[in-house]
Amino acid sequence: MAQDEPIIRIRGLRNQFGAQVVHDNLDLDLYRGEVMGVVGGSGTGKSVLLRTIAGLRPPQGGSIEIFGKDALNCTDDARKEIDLRMGVMFQDGALFSSLTVRENVEVPMQAVPGLTPALRRDLADLKISLSGLPWFAGDKYPSELSGGMRKRAGLARALALDPEILFLDEPTAGLDPIGAAAFDVLIRQLSESLGLSVFLVTHDLDTLHAACTRIAVLAEKKVLTTGTMADMMDVDHPWVREYFHGPRSRAAIDASKRTA
């Protein structure tokens, strides 16, 4: 795949629940190595879009190409190959409560032939370390972790198979400002060090400033616009103006300048 070709290419996407149309004729590209922040008002289907791209729900129309392959009309084996190259972190981690953190991270590895239990354990410990969790977290159960630690455990599991694309659904929701800022830094560092392409659903302006290289705005059942944070400041649309020119945005800009 050429460097300037999208790693994910979406055209004419339609998502619908009964009579409710969430997305209609939606187009979007994700390029290799970028961290894309997806924002939009309530009901614009940010998480629905993530789940559709990740193969967790079928759309009602359109096309999705991932790694240059038709992700909606491929064989089961081809789809499995695509899925093995992607990782998903859900809100609050979505961990198995009866498994330790290490066992949760090992779950995706069980689909890989030839990995011994000892090797799975070592790899899981590596992913736990990459997520920023302390060394002892692997033996803990989700109920024994704070909200921020559960999110990091969910991230460790999403990284289990060394994905090329990472999907993050509201990764900083519910975190205190210090924990959220640390997670933002971690996302950017992982993208740069591992070469990850990141599709990040968020409502957090600080995350857009600190972690994202490009932003996509969902509105009117489609991707209204994409661009950098500077580009967003020039978009003439009521929701975009309110979101990116409000007091919270100004505070986020000031904070990013102080840490730059």
Q: What is the pLDDT of residue 59?
A: 97
Q: Give the pLDDT score at 98.
A: 96
Vertex 217 angle, CA 212 and 222, to 5°? 140
- For residue 210, tell me if it sits in a domain: yes
Q: What is the model's pLDDT at position 37?
A: 97
Tens digit of pLDDT for each residue in 70-110?
A: 999 999 999 999 999 999 998 766 899 999 999 999 999 99
Range of 176's domain?
Answer: 8-85+163-259
CATH number, residue 237? 3.40.50.300
Identify the sign of the CA torsion 250, 253, 257, 259.
positive
Query: Within a domain: residue 245?
Result: yes
Average of per-residue pLDDT values in the chain:
91
How many domains is the chain built from? 1
Residue in the structure block whose two tokens are 């009901």: 43
Q: Please report whether residue 90 resides in a domain.
A: no
CB-CB neighbours of 19 under 10 Å: 5
53 occurs within a structural domain: yes
Residue 194 included in any domain:
yes
In the chain, which residues have pLDDT < 50? Answer: 1-3
**Residue 133 maps to a domain:** no
Burial class (CB in 10 A: 0-12, 13-18, 19+), 260: exposed
Q: State the pLDDT at residue 190.
A: 94
